[in-house]
Structure 1
């Protein structure tokens, strides 16, 4: 969570999306947003990561069943998810932060 500058409250929605899929993860994300634990930036970063790396076990097993290499699939998805989310964490809402300082 630190690499993306996210609070610890973001870990439950992120793990739910990774393990159970994007649909169940979205429910947990919505509940966390309603409770007010996560900012818009946090929700954006969690969603960005999960779009690329959701349903880790289910999707991987489906592709392995049709002949894909599971390790390569997980590795590529993980690298893309971490890389793109890291970039988004550094530049997301950058303009909003600047306007607050004026």
Structure 2
């Protein structure tokens, strides 16, 4: 079990690191393989603290990186929550679980 302070710090670090990776990739500081490797490391941290939301977001970003060679819009997509799970889907899943 992870205490609240450690989890909060880890979530802050993951958020900052995800933004840094996107920024560096878009600026050309790192290439696609380095970005995927960095996201795999961040995914390990998210799974260590069992944060499903970040794990899903990171998987979607990695999938997007693997499927395209165009990275000039990735920061815009990230900031507009393009990779985040849709709220409607979450609400439907919660309702589905409640009725079981």
TM-score (norm 1): 0.42
> Between Structure 1 and Structure 2, which shows a larger proportion of helix residues?
1
TM-score (norm 2): 0.43
